[in-house]
Amino acid sequence: MEFAGEAMLLDLQGDFERASYINRQAFLKEQQAAELMSNSYEIEPTRSVLCRSAATLAFKCGEIRESERLISLALSGNPPEEIAEELRDLLEQVYFQRHLNLRGVLLDPQEFQMSMTGDAVGFGIAQSDEFTERVRDVKNLVDRVAERKQGKPFNESGRRISKIELYLSVPRAASFAVTFRLGNSDDQLKIPGINFPELSQVVIDDLFEGLKILIHSGTEALKELIPDEAYLRNFVAIAIKIAPDGKKIKTVGLTATRNNREERLLIDITKNQFILPPSVDESEKNIGEYVEVVGTLQFADSTQPTKGSIRVKSEEGVKRINVPLGMMTDIVKPMYGEKVFITGTVQKGGEILLSNIEPI
């Protein structure tokens, strides 16, 4: 127990290598205790509790097969039903981790939680679109932060460079909270001198810091953290999609461990209170009047290096609209085939430069 407590403290302090070593010492001690009780079927719940504890520590140490064996040892006796259920739950985690190991995926201990409240959220239940779309947007935001922290140029087309995999827990009741955990199946996913657990903490820290600046100080202040125009526009646009609408979703909360303490970030300002960075096409700076377009998104092209273009069929005919870098893949394309509301400005030549787009 002393070893396990020390390992937990080291983990919170970010000393993952030392925590891993101390966790293994705790596991070896508990494993010995469980083995001494292995044939004492009549001594319950002591026997099953020791096996469960040893199996949990084995799981933390990555000893998946040993964890499975210890769980089976406990279940082969007569554990109380409550302990048996906990053992079965642990066994499901073991099987999931084994499945990931077979795929070559590493799950990092660093994680963060998202919770939602609002009219579309009940006790352990939420409207599917409100939940699944935000999960997709969180994944996009994590990917983009990882790419930026690795010094990658903003990629608007083709396969995602990040290759970070996002896993989430079973949704919990009350405010419908889920926990995200970062995974990695690519040995190349790293910054020189920084391993994946450290990179994942860098990504989570940057994501939280960016959202905090955006919520409290606005887009202009965010430029210091994200000087690249495409990454900046993309970050703000995705944040707007995650933000509450004020009715169906009234608050979105994020929680993570940063600087050795729990940090909670509450997004309680609505989508329309965020301001996107102005879209300036360097090749055509003569920006004209403000326009609104309502219609069906029918075509999207992201092959140009500095901008994309879309076609929207409205009552006035088909409108061609240019899309600045940072908006096409994560914001515009998911709305293909939907009716949308677009705001923009008229450029020289009569084309429209997109400012913002929302589904109707």
- With 0.75 as the threshold, say if the pTM is over it: no
Tell me the CA distances in angstroms from 319 to 158, 271, 358, one per residue in order. Answer: 25, 25, 16
Which of 113, 112, 11 shows the shortest CA–CA distance to 60?
11
Q: What is the pLDDT of residue 27?
A: 96
Q: What is the pLDDT of residue 196?
A: 59
Whether residue 257 contacts residue 113, with contact meaning beta carbons closer than 8 Å, is answered with: no
Q: What is the pLDDT of residue 260?
A: 65
Cα(21)–Cα(98) distance, integer angstroms: 21
Half-sphere exposure of 42 (CA within 13 A, CB side): 0
Half-sphere exposure of 274 (CA within 13 A, CB side): 28
Q: What is the pLDDT of residue 151?
A: 87
The residue ranges of the chain whose pLDDT is under 70 are 14, 96, 99-109, 157-163, 172-175, 185-197, 258-262, 278-288, 302-306
Q: 148: Cβ–Cβ under 8 A, 6 or more apart, which residues?
A: 154, 206, 226, 228, 231
Cα(317)–Cα(296) distance, integer angstroms: 11
- Phi/psi at 214 (5° precision): -60, -45
Q: What is the pLDDT of residue 305?
A: 58
Per-residue model confidence as pLDDT tens digits over 209-243: 999 999 988 888 999 999 999 999 999 999 999 99
Per-residue model confidence as pLDDT tens digits over 32-57: 999 999 999 999 999 999 999 999 99
Q: What is the pLDDT of residue 282?
A: 42
Which of 304, 155, 341, 180 shows the shortest CA–CA distance to 230?
155
Question: What single-letter amino acid sits at 309?
Answer: S
Q: Which contiguous run of DSSP H or E holds residue 229? A: helix 229-242
DSSP code, position 65: H
Q: What is the pLDDT of residue 189?
A: 47
β-bridge mates for residue 311, sequence order? 299, 320
Q: Which contiguous run of DSSP H or E holds residue 97? A: helix 81-103
